[in-house]
Amino acid sequence: MTRLTGLAPVIDHRARVLVLGSFPSTASLAAQQYYAHPQNLFWRIVGETIKQPLREMDYPARLAAVQAAGIAIWDVFATCERAGSLDAAIRDAVPNPLAEIKKSAPALRRICFNGRMAATRIREMEALGFQAVVLPSTSPANAGMAYAEKLARWREALTG
């Protein structure tokens, strides 16, 4: 299996909330963009939350809009081996240095985990003094929860 490398963090000094996924999908790695799979609900949910048409924007504009809203994006794993895009297929993962995030984001207070696999590092983030929230995954693989419920949970976490 090929060793895969994730994406760089999208973060600046304005970040007050960090959304942590597990590891980019094959579509995201191919595009070199977070949440690039067209059926992933991330951009739709965050767009509705911050009242910006993120899905209609090009990728650089999306990133600028979320950063202006105080939201940062990264993943818990820096590299891994994986066939396909499912979190369950992740093997031999190397974690990202999440403790270093405090240096680049002094206003950061809350960590929102995009799904259960990402939340495997919740205790580490709580030990660093962050409020941590596990959110329902925006992945198309998580079809068991209604969109309205996902949106409500994400909205509360990102704006609360």
Per the annotation, the verdict on 96 as an active-site residue is no
Strand boundaries in the chain, DSSP class E: 3-5, 17-21, 71-75, 77-81, 91-95, 110-114, 131-135
Strand boundaries in 22-76, DSSP class E: 71-75
Locate 159 and state its tokens. 């704006």
For 13, phi then psi, to 5°, come to: -65, -15
Locate 63 and state its tokens. 């990133």
Please list the active-site residues.
40
